[in-house]
Homo-oligomer: A and B are copies of this chain.
Amino acid sequence: MYRLYHVPLSPFCRKVRLTLAEKRIEVELVEERYWEGSSEFLKRNPAAKVPILRVDGRNLPESSAICEYLEETHPEPPLMPQSAVGRYEVRRLVGWFDDKFHTEVTSKLLYERINKKIQNSGYPDSGRIKEGSKAIRFHLDYMAWLLEQRRWLAGDMLTLADFAAAAHLSALDYRSDVDWNRQQGVKDWYAKIKSRPAFRSILADQVPGFTPPPHYADLDF
């Protein structure tokens, strides 16, 4: 049995949860308030971050390394294509969302509005929120451009790149930070991914003090 230390709205944790669920790997979810830095938690992970996957008595941090590990140990269904170029493209896009999108959008919207309150670490910075609201438009347009040429973000098949993107967007959607009317192609892609069984646990998340909008869990949003 696997155990995942996580927080519900973390896009990095959601990416791992989606990967586990898509591969039908049973997992026990344990919420970890990592910002409180308990010594028990720091022992599990000196980087003091979530997610951490507990496997056979080992604690594995680092979401992308975890997903590649799950892909290698549970190859069915595959979430990476066969060709080196195809695999490159998946990794490039995972990097795009977990690095660039995270810095420009997620950290400026989700972290300012929700994490700061939960972690009791100050008030939202309206300048950063404005930057994030502007930046997400560019990213939605970029995704739409990719999806004009491809069925999924990295090509013909569903991959880790789609889960990385959906993890960020679903967390932002919990606070209505995604304008689904901006790009029909992105909305169609999200509707497709949202209706997968792997997405159910994410749509059922509840964060005390924050009620998601009705469209959050609605498959016909």
Contacts and interface: CB of A to CB of B under 8 A. Distances in A.
Interface residues of A, number: 24
B88 A47 contact: no
B84 A73 contact: yes
A209 interface: no
Given A46-B142, A95-B65, A88 B100 contact: no
Interface string A48-64: 00000000001011101
Q: Interface majority SS on A: helix, strand, loop or mixed?
A: helix
Contact of A91 (B46, B65, B88, B100): B65
A47 B103 CA distance: 12
B100 A87 contact: no
Interface string A67-84: 011001100000000001
A65 B88 contact: yes
Interface in A5-54: 46-47
A92 interface: yes
A152 interface: no
A142 B91 CA distance: 27
Contacts of A189: none
Question: Which among A46, A61, A66, A92 has the greatest number of chain B C-beta atoms within 10 A?
Answer: A92
A63 to B, nearest CB: 8
17 contacts: A47-B96, A47-B100, A60-B88, A60-B92, A61-B92, A62-B95, A62-B96, A64-B95, A65-B92, A65-B95, A66-B88, A68-B87, A68-B88, A68-B91, A69-B85, A72-B84, A73-B84
* A-B interface, 5 closest residue pairs, ranked by CB to CB distance from nearest: A65-B91, A69-B88, A72-B84, A62-B95, A65-B92
